[in-house]
Chains A and B, each alone.
Chain A
Amino acid sequence: MSQPPMKEWQVERQIVDLSKERGNAKSRGLGPQPHDLTSLKGDFPMASDVQAAAPADVALSVRDLSVSLPEGMERAYAVEDISFDLKRGQILCIIGESGSGKSVTANAIMGLLPKAIRVSSGAIQLNGTNIVGLSLDKLRSLRGRVVSMIFQDPLSALNPLMTVGAQIEEVMAAHDVGTPKSRRSRAIDLLIEVGLPEPQLMYHQYPFRLSGGQRQRVMIAMALALEPAILIADEPTTALDVTTQAQILQLIRDIQRRKGMSVMFITHDFGVVAEIADYVVVMEKGHCVEQGSAEQVLKSPSHLYTRRLIAAVPHLTGKDRIALRPADRTSILKVECLAKTYRSGSSLFGRQRIVAAVNGVTFDLASGRTLGVVGESGSGKSSLGRLLIKLLDCDSGSILFEGRDIAALSEAEFRPLRPKIQMIFQDPFASLNPRSTVGQILTVGPVAHGMSCGEAAERARELLSHVGLDSGAFDRYPHEFSGGQRQRIGIARALMFKPKLLIADEAVSALDVSIQAQILKLLDQIQRETGVSMIFITHDLRVASQICDEIAVMHRGHIVEHGPPSQIFLDPKSTYTRELVAAIPGEQPANAPQHAANP
């Protein structure tokens, strides 16, 4: 629940260095011209200890870096004794799960650590200058000019009240670079460089008007404004759709090659590493457990953790899942021409905006099978899930559950049927009531449906141990658990009623890959034991290929393709599916490796 004290865009303000002398810079007007920028590099103030000058081909060198955490945190150091070199003109990937310290490392290099977290020992050499302990002013002159950063969430990293053009120019103005006129033309050049359509128009746009991918391109343009030698990218594609992710990765690689830049790329996704990395550093709980060339780390990992991590990465399987009970093919859910339209704005005052979220969706699910619904954000897949469980009311169409049309039922009529259809939610942090104990969360539903308290508690304890939690979890509050553990609680809650149909809405998207693999395995095991039917909604085709018997690809409210995984991944019929499959990072679908990790 805790919010970061600063919005990302405010941090970004720091990076692009809004120095107080902005006004002076404008009045002086005459700075070095943009094309002189390269000459600026390397002339930043020398720190006291230059004796350990790194070899000339190393742009960034981190030596024995330790960052201490305040007392009372779960460990004493955020990162401990990590060392690595970023060579000129290379892409270095730092990979690790949440809490591995990869973002702390990036922030230490930018000098953006929160006050309470300090670099306690070690050195960070930027072009041969140790920046640890450098004064704020000197750090500021480095930011943006020598090293620049792009963030995970481009919407919160851009100032919502400034136009795209103004934000790019601000970076240059803050460093006294160029005249207002030259800055403007440079901003437009940058917008062209990052591949934004109609740069003249884009220059005057506000961030909220752009798509996620366009915003990330603007962020990259800002980061490139001063031609930095080093670009740090902190999970820049994590918040993006898979096709957009592929484009942004391509863009970063192109720009890096064109400019000979050095890129430090932070990610949790081995697929992305396989796409982009020259050199890989694997981090676990603040330690660097393995590093080496991408080839070496990906093909023959030496450390146990790396091996486990790579094994946990879901891969596209061209193979179909072995059906549970091939004989039993009775239909449990039959959806016909389901439609839902969102209307925003009042019809009385002003214009209404109408978005068809789900449009004429038809499918049939046999009992004991899993249907994967895949699509990018805005495809309507989550709306579909909510319609099926009647958390949303549909506009038209029918939902036949065990032969009965539940679409037309009122909330009160449907309540007795609720136990049969249960849902596992996406966000393990938001989906559990923070003020209830796990026991209350699990038992409140069954008790409301007439189960006795004792019986419900007994079943809850049974299920907790079944999903891999200590039965002592019963009396604890959700905040005492990690994300993966909370998702297990969410699964236990859905199983309390012995449901016939489980709807998993992005149930593993918020989890680390190793946890993801465990949860997928648990779901698979539950299905084999109870014969429950599942609808698995996800944006990740790799995950879908692991657990689904059939896959429906959604695009703008329609199902564009429906079939077994072998057809979807190896022989996609629609263009959209083909694009989607081609965009999966780190996979060549035609010769997808048949990995041992398949459930």
Chain B
Amino acid sequence: MTAIAAHLPPTRWWHSRAVYRFMRHHLALVGIAMITLLVLACTIGPYALPYDSLHIDLRARFAPPLSGHHYFGTDPLGRDLAARLLMAGRVSLLVGFSAMLLSTLIGTLVGVTAGYRGGWIGAALMRVVDGFLSYPSIFLVLALAATLRPSPVMITVIIAVTSWMETARIVEAEVRSLREREFVQAARMVGLSRRHIMFREVLPNAMGPIIVAASLAVARAILLEAYISFLGYGIQPPLPSWGNMLNGAQQYLASAPWLAIIPGAAITIAVTSFNFIGDGLRDALDVRNDHF
């Protein structure tokens, strides 16, 4: 009677309750759709548009949206705003994603090490986290951005370095509770090395919260990039980013409001979409939300 039933098909991840719960989270699905659309538009959009983002046409300065082939109008130099918006989207989304990857990597490494090792190593690492958290990160970002040469790579690193702490704290707490579970004791029993247990046994079980934190981290990274670029310390023109497009739009707010509204809307859409996805993931990975 103990031989398992042979007719059961092997379960796949997309059959899981978590996926089912995520699919029921309508806002998260909207978020996924919006992000997919944005990413697609930014990757292939610039090739489909009639104008290059750097093409200057002084005769068509301040063209309002939907004039001729300038769907979103033009800027003070007569450059096509749609093309610039999509090129800026590449930079902003790429910076957001890379900063998220880097900060999640740092946060996870620190969190797993601190949580699993515990003792003085764990305590020391978590005091480092506290130290970073106690420094107002926006000043740190601005100070670093002002002194270092602000290239997209540098901006990514700066954002990652100032935003990994939350992931570290989440992972540390999760790993500390996982460490006491019997399967970890069992892994020690069969003589696995500490590194193997930390990263191959414990870490996969902490992926849920990490993914949630990561999706929210993208939103924050995009916002931070926009913030420092808006203040002029971030991505430097002529390379467009949503933040420095807003910066350029400041003086024409009254005469050409679309210059601010369009990149602003792009930032809002991207950030809210990532936040929706984050909420959806959090609810999906929380078994307490399992209504029949």
Q: Which A residues are closer than 8 A to B by beta carbons?
A: 1-3, 5, 70, 114-116, 386, 389, 391, 415-416, 418-419, 422-423, 425-427, 430-436, 444-446, 448-449, 468-470, 472-473, 475-477, 480-481, 484-485, 488, 490, 493-494, 496-497, 518
CB distance from A35 to the nearest CB of B (A): 44
Bound CA span A488–B247, Å: 66
Whether the pair A472, B287 counts as a contact (CB closer than 8 A) is no
In the complex with contacts A470-B4, A480-B8, A485-B2, A426-B190 CB distance below 8 A: no
Whether the pair A422, B183 counts as a contact (CB closer than 8 A) is no
Whether the pair A481, B191 counts as a contact (CB closer than 8 A) is no
Closest to A488 in B: B2
Whether the pair B2, A518 counts as a contact (CB closer than 8 A) is yes
Whether the pair B287, A1 counts as a contact (CB closer than 8 A) is yes
Q: Which B residues are closer than 8 A to A by beta carbons?
A: 2-4, 6, 8, 10-11, 181-183, 185-193, 196, 200-201, 204-205, 287-288, 290-292
In the complex with contacts A481-B4, A485-B4, A430-B181 CB distance below 8 A: yes
11 A–B contacts from the bound complex (CB under 8 Å): A114-B292, A115-B292, A416-B191, A427-B182, A433-B187, A434-B183, A434-B205, A436-B201, A445-B190, A448-B190, A480-B11
In the complex with contacts A3-B288, A444-B192, A493-B190, A433-B201 CB distance below 8 A: yes
- A-B CB proximity, top 10 nearest: A445-B190, A418-B191, A116-B292, A431-B182, A435-B204, A430-B182, A433-B183, A70-B292, A468-B2, A470-B3
Chain B residue contacts of A488, Cβ below 8 A: 2
A435-B204, A448-B192 known; 4 new pairs, CB 8 Å cut-off, are: A391-B189, A469-B3, A490-B186, A496-B190
Bound CA span A445–B191, Å: 6
Bound CA span A430–B181, Å: 6
Bound CA span A497–B191, Å: 11
In the complex with contacts A2-B287, A430-B182, A419-B6 CB distance below 8 A: no
Whether the pair A469, B4 counts as a contact (CB closer than 8 A) is yes
Of A418, A433, A518, which is in contact with the most chain B CB atoms at under 10 Å from its CB?
A433
CB distance from B264 to the nearest CB of A (A): 41
Chain B residue contacts of A434, Cβ below 8 A: 183, 205
CB distance from B174 to the nearest CB of A (A): 13
B2, B10, B188, B204: the one within 8 Å of A475 (CB) = B10
Chain B residue contacts of A432, Cβ below 8 A: 183, 186
Chain A residue contacts of B191, Cβ below 8 A: 415-416, 418-419, 445, 448-449
Chain B residue contacts of A470, Cβ below 8 A: 3-4, 6
Whether the pair B196, A448 counts as a contact (CB closer than 8 A) is yes
Whether the pair A484, B190 counts as a contact (CB closer than 8 A) is no
Closest to A417 in B: B191
Closest to A433 in B: B183
Whether the pair B290, A2 counts as a contact (CB closer than 8 A) is yes
Whether the pair A476, B190 counts as a contact (CB closer than 8 A) is no
Whether the pair B190, A497 counts as a contact (CB closer than 8 A) is yes
Chain B residue contacts of A425, Cβ below 8 A: 182, 185-186
Majority SS at the chain A contact face: loop
Bound CA span A435–B185, Å: 15
CB distance from B238 to the nearest CB of A (A): 48
In the complex with contacts A469-B4, A473-B4, A418-B189 CB distance below 8 A: yes
Chain B residue contacts of A473, Cβ below 8 A: 4
Bound CA span A445–B193, Å: 10
Whether the pair A431, B186 counts as a contact (CB closer than 8 A) is yes
In the complex with contacts A435-B204, A448-B192, A449-B191, A493-B2 CB distance below 8 A: no
Chain A residue contacts of B290, Cβ below 8 A: 2, 5
CB distance from A29 to the nearest CB of B (A): 40
Whether the pair B183, A418 counts as a contact (CB closer than 8 A) is no
Bound CA span A418–B11, Å: 33
B4, B183, B190, B193: the one within 8 Å of A430 (CB) = B183
In the complex with contacts A434-B205, A469-B2, A389-B292 CB distance below 8 A: no
Chain B residue contacts of A475, Cβ below 8 A: 10
Whether the pair A435, B6 counts as a contact (CB closer than 8 A) is no
Chain A residue contacts of B287, Cβ below 8 A: 1-3
CB distance from A435 to the nearest CB of B (A): 4
Whether the pair B11, A477 counts as a contact (CB closer than 8 A) is yes
Bound CA span A116–B6, Å: 30
Bound CA span A129–B190, Å: 60
CB distance from A156 to the nearest CB of B (A): 15
CB distance from A418 to the nearest CB of B (A): 4
CB distance from B292 to the nearest CB of A (A): 4
Whether the pair B205, A433 counts as a contact (CB closer than 8 A) is yes
Chain B residue contacts of A446, Cβ below 8 A: 190
CB distance from B180 to the nearest CB of A (A): 10
Bound CA span A493–B187, Å: 10
Chain B residue contacts of A468, Cβ below 8 A: 2-3
Chain A residue contacts of B205, Cβ below 8 A: 433-435
Closest to B17 in A: A2
Closest to B287 in A: A2
Closest to A515 in B: B2
Chain B residue contacts of A386, Cβ below 8 A: 185
Whether the pair B190, A418 counts as a contact (CB closer than 8 A) is yes
Chain A residue contacts of B8, Cβ below 8 A: 480
Chain A residue contacts of B188, Cβ below 8 A: 391
Bound CA span A335–B125, Å: 38
B11, B181, B187, B288: the one within 8 Å of A5 (CB) = B288
CB distance from B193 to the nearest CB of A (A): 7
Chain A residue contacts of B182, Cβ below 8 A: 425-427, 430-431
Bound CA span A1–B181, Å: 12
Chain B residue contacts of A494, Cβ below 8 A: 189
Bound CA span A240–B254, Å: 76
Of B4, B191, B204, which is in contact with the most chain A CB atoms at under 10 Å from its CB?
B191
Chain A residue contacts of B187, Cβ below 8 A: 433, 444-445
Whether the pair A389, B192 counts as a contact (CB closer than 8 A) is no
Whether the pair A423, B6 counts as a contact (CB closer than 8 A) is no
Chain B residue contacts of A444, Cβ below 8 A: 187, 190, 192, 196, 200
Bound CA span A163–B238, Å: 69
Closest to B185 in A: A391
Bound CA span A430–B185, Å: 10
Chain B residue contacts of A472, Cβ below 8 A: 4, 6
Chain A residue contacts of B185, Cβ below 8 A: 386, 391, 423, 425, 431
Bound CA span A468–B2, Å: 6
Bound CA span A416–B190, Å: 10
Bound CA span A426–B183, Å: 11
CB distance from A23 to the nearest CB of B (A): 30
Closest to B178 in A: A433
Whether the pair B189, A389 counts as a contact (CB closer than 8 A) is yes
CB distance from B80 to the nearest CB of A (A): 49
Bound CA span A193–B2, Å: 47
Chain A residue contacts of B193, Cβ below 8 A: 415, 448
CB distance from B262 to the nearest CB of A (A): 44
Whether the pair A484, B189 counts as a contact (CB closer than 8 A) is no
Closest to B190 in A: A445
Bound CA span A116–B291, Å: 8
CB distance from B218 to the nearest CB of A (A): 24
Chain B residue contacts of A389, Cβ below 8 A: 189
Closest to A476 in B: B10
